[in-house]
Structure 1
């Protein structure tokens, strides 16, 4: 194995998002020579989402840096630890074995998310188009917010109630990025979860730090990918 080559980076999006949310971060890392894989979730269950993430982990020899945003934190927590070198939680759920993403949120102060969710009898939710931009991307311009909000998709909530049998962060080092102006995942919950991580950073960011703090996200992932 060429130890001078950077590790691959796996990017895992959150609820209501798709892999396109990571376009800027993925390009920035690839421009620096870092192999990148972007998971596409919405497979119907947490186990299926984890399997979808693991299916794109062919990023060369050796384990990868796995970064999960929001619900994506539950996905990376369930990855095979043999394939992961470091876990990065970007304003993300960081469940232990037996915990669920929505269960973690139910034990935290309420955020603005609930008021923006529109549900149907089949357990599928969408985000109110009039609230979505400011909810996820309050630190962007109105035009940028609208562009990001246009990319949101309906979300089957089943996976949010499901748990993992083992937590990868108990075996592998991890970094938690607390976003202290987050209107989706309450900062108090993030600070509590960050105590589980090996390392912690705090950014004055909205929930969509991959956009409002794109350069910082690229920097932290590049550093981890090249730290041999």
Structure 2
């Protein structure tokens, strides 16, 4: 199979993160011959442009990038980490290979790989009065994570120097990220799905990950890792194996 024939990987990042956090995974995927798209979601950043931005805004922006790409007869695998799972359902709606083919259109999304992903905004809608105590408020529109929390919960198995770099790259998150009510369910997505359960995850419990995978109708693959396997050297190749296996 040539490089051009291999599916493109569309990476949807998590809260407080940017694509730079995933550069080791991106490099490894490209080394296997996969083109990678990794847009910055409008819900994350270091300025006031993220104020009021929701997961629907993020999905709309990514679809604007994706549709012209699919029109070039590209096949795309979506890899969604954490909060990215919520965004993904609205990205894929109507863009599967099967649905586009039925409309006489080329290209399409062929599969989804979730990494310790949330699938619904219901449990993540926070206001200043009911948000977790570890949030640091920038203002009434956005929040960040203190380094100590990120180190112990998001990056519990990440080693230096990748740990220090990951902490420095963390950005702000829009408070409105999960506000909208009109959600498209992951179970409605008409493509094969794989859910990578991170067995040492300190933020999304093991049982919850399995339940989310069941709700999505996804095949479960367990990976011995914390919430951020793309920052754990020994987990990179197994992670890439899982992603690329689903793209063949």
User: What's the TM-score once normalised by structure 1's chain length?
Assistant: 0.83
* Counterpart residue number, 1:128: 146
* Counterpart residue number, 1:108: none
Per-residue Cα deviation, 1:78-106 (whole angstroms, up to 9, x for no partner) = 113423211111000123xxx53516x9x
User: 5 Å matches for 1:147-186?
Assistant: 147-170=165-188, 171-186=190-205
Per-residue Cα deviation, 1:179-227 (whole angstroms, up to 9, x for no partner) = 12112222221111011333111112111122222222222222222x1
Check if 1:188 corresponds to 2:207. Answer: yes
How far off its partner does 1:70 sit? 0.5
User: 5 Å matches for 1:196-215?
Assistant: 196=215, 197-212=217-232, 213-215=235-237
* Counterpart residue number, 2:134: 116
Deviates more, 1:205-214 or 1:133-142: 133-142
Rate the CA distance shift 1:114–1:183 in 2: closer, same or farther, 3 A.
farther
Which has the larger Rg? 2
For 1:179 and 1:215, locate their aligned partners in 2 and report how far apart those are by CA, in whole Å. Answer: 15
How far off its partner does 1:66 sit? 0.5
> 212, 224, 227: which one pairs with 2:246?
224
**Contact kept in structure 2, 1:87 and 1:174, CA below 8 Å:** yes
Q: Which runs of 5+ in 1 are unaligned?
A: 106-112
Check if 1:48 corresponds to 2:57. Answer: yes
User: What's the TM-score once normalised by structure 2's chain length?
Assistant: 0.77
How far off its partner does 1:130 sit? 2.6
**Contact kept in structure 2, 1:40 and 1:52, CA below 8 Å:** no
For 2:13 and 2:182, locate their aligned partners in 1 and report how far apart those are by CA, in whole Å. Answer: 18
For 1:92 and 1:188, locate their aligned partners in 2 and report how far apart those are by CA, in whole Å. Answer: 13
For 2:187 and 2:78, locate their aligned partners in 1 and report how far apart those are by CA, in whole Å. Answer: 11
Q: Which runs of 5+ in 2 are unaligned?
A: 44-52, 96-107
For 1:55 and 1:140, locate their aligned partners in 2 and report how far apart those are by CA, in whole Å. Answer: 34
* Counterpart residue number, 1:67: 79
**Contact kept in structure 2, 1:69 and 1:89, CA below 8 Å:** yes
Q: How many positions carry a matched residue from both structures?
A: 214
**Contact kept in structure 1, 2:54 and 2:179, CA below 8 Å:** no
How far off its partner does 1:25 sit? 1.2
SS at match of 1:210: helix
**Contact kept in structure 2, 1:116 and 1:132, CA below 8 Å:** no
Deviates more, 1:10-19 or 1:122-131: 122-131
